[in-house]
């Protein structure tokens, strides 16, 4: 029983805290822009289910804390359907009802009767808030902690590996990969792991000369302490650094924001690159995580942050910093996913609004309904695929197979 409680504290609690925080910020993005445009809002909820606590502000908005910490939501007055995009008939019915209850002109306070550009900005406010959150977190970390720049040097080349075939030698200083400047070993790992069976162009410094090398990563099954078993590209290099080449960089507020924006762009670029390789059949997609995988990652990060001999205060600070970093990465992911042009997501709503702006009328009800169902099916397939990956990496099927045999 104590072991079960320990697992819940390590895996479930950090996951729920991070997820609820990110989703709340996402919904707050919708809320703040809607409030700026004087949209009537019924409720802003953190968590789902029965309310633990609630209050109503002077604008008539209920602020609610639900007992299930699985995210949150904002409810605009007059929402008629799950997609929040009623058709022409639905708008007419809503307008008549609002006028009958509150008098002529009251409909102008409702989301659905705002100009299409305002509705689009309100809808985009959620993903935008996720990106702003990530930039704020990275900026704070750069200002508080700075950054360590340690150009990677090759310390060992595995015999008969892709790196050996490419001509890498110990003490090579890696300067570039695929045209991008390499600042650390993490840059090399990020590029190589997502380039299985695809040649990578390197530039190294050897004895004061620039040398161009081409290595093709080999897809290899590896066991990651946080993600579990995954298939990634490997070329057979071990990297280190020389102490005299390590630089500690401090950032002022402007530089920190610039570096944070670059970091956020880098995460988005890597995500798009990986998804593109999945759709072209060059990656298996086993690094796509669902809720189980994210919970496992949160637990793994928590264990790593609190491992070893150190004062409790230092472990707590390390844990907090690690979870905040995870929140930044997940916030970018949630913002990106919500911008996908799927009707049940913010991106799908933006597609509907783009049509409305051009056609001067909302999308027909039957089209919305069909899009909504297709969107749900796509999301369900994506969730099933990600959950399948999670279960594979958790070795659940091997465990069940052992029970059956």
List pLDDT tens digits, range 168-182. 999 999 999 998 889
**Is the predicted pLDDT of residue 189 greater than 50, yes or no?**
yes
**Is the predicted pLDDT of residue 84 greater than 70, yes or no?**
no
Residue 202 or residue 294, greater confidence: 202
List pLDDT tens digits, range 212-232. 999 999 988 776 655 566 778
Report how far residue 246's alpha carbon sits from residue 228's, in angstroms, rounded to the nearest whole number. Answer: 31
Average pLDDT, the chain: 81
Average pLDDT over residues 102-118: 85
Average pLDDT over residues 368-381: 78
Closest CA to 94 of 84, 83, 109, 79: 79
Domains located in the chain, CATH noted: 148-249 (2.30.42.10)
List pLDDT tens digits, range 257-266. 999 999 999 8
Could you give phi then psi for residue 105, rounded to 5 degrees?
95, -20
Residue 383 or residue 147, greater confidence: 147
Q: Which of 143-147, 294-298, 314-318 has the highest mean pLDDT?
A: 143-147
Integer Rg of the chain from CA: 25
Residue 104, both tokens: 């002529």
Least confident segment among 37-46, 117-126, 360-369: 360-369
The answer to whether residues 104 and 4 touch, using CB atoms and an 8 Å cutoff, is no
**How many CB atoms within 10 Å of residue 277?**
18
Residue 85, both tokens: 């995009």
* Residue 27 is among the residues annotated as catalytic for this protein: yes
Question: What pLDDT does 303 receive?
Answer: 61
Q: Which of 235-239, 358-362, 401-405 has the highest mean pLDDT?
A: 235-239
- Please identify which of the residues 27, 176, 238, 245 carries the catalytic annotation: 27
Q: Which of 15-24, 366-375, 392-401 has the highest mean pLDDT?
A: 15-24
């Amino acid at each position: 029983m104590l072991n079960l409680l320990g697992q819940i504290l390590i895996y479930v609690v950090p996951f729920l805290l991070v997820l609820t925080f990110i989703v709340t910020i996402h919904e707050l993005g919708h809320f703040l822009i809607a409030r700026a445009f004087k949209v009537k809002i019924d409720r802003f909820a953190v968590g789902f289910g029965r309310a633990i606590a609630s209050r109503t502000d002077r604008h008539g908005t209920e602020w609610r804390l639900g007992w299930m910490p699985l995210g949150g939501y904002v409810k605009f007055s007059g929402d008629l359907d799950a997609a929040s995009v009623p058709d022409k008939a639905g708008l007419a019915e809503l307008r008549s009802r609002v006028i009958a209850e509150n008098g002529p002109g009251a409909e102008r306070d409702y989301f659905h009767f705002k100009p299409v550009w305002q509705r689009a900005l309100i809808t985009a406010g959620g993903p935008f808030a996720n990106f702003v959150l990530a930039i704020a977190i990275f900026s704070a970390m750069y200002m508080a902690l700075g950054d360590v720049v340690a150009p990677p040097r090759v310390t060992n080349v595995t015999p008969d590996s892709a790196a050996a075939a490419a001509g890498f030698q110990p003490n090579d200083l890696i300067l570039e990969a695929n045209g991008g400047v390499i600042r650390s070993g993490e840059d090399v790992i990020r590029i190589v792991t997502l380039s299985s069976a695809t040649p990578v162009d390197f530039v190294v410094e050897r004895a004061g000369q620039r040398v161009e090398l081409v290595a093709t990563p080999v897809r290899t099954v590896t066991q990651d302490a946080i993600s579990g078993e995954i298939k990634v590209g490997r070329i057979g290099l071990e990297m280190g650094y020389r102490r005299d080449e390590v630089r500690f960089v401090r950032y002022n507020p402007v530089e920190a924001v610039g570096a944070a924006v670059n970091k956020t762009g880098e995460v988005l670029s890597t995500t798009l690159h990986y998804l593109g390789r999945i759709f072209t059949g060059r990656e298996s997609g086993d690094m796509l995580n669902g809720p189980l995988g994210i919970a496992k990652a949160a637990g793994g990060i928590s264990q790593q942050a609190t491992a070893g001999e150190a004062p409790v205060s230092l472990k707590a600070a390390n844990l907090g910093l690690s979870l905040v970093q995870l929140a930044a990465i997940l916030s970018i992911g949630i913002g990106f996913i919500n911008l996908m042009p799927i009707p049940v997501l913010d991106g799908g709503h933006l597609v509907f609004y783009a049509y409305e702006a051009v056609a001067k009328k909302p999308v027909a009800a039957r089209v919305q309904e069909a899009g909504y169902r297709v969107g749900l099916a796509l999301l369900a397939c994506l969730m099933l695929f990600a959950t399948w990956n999670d279960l594979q990496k958790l070795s659940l099927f091997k465990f069940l197979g052992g029970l059956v045999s």
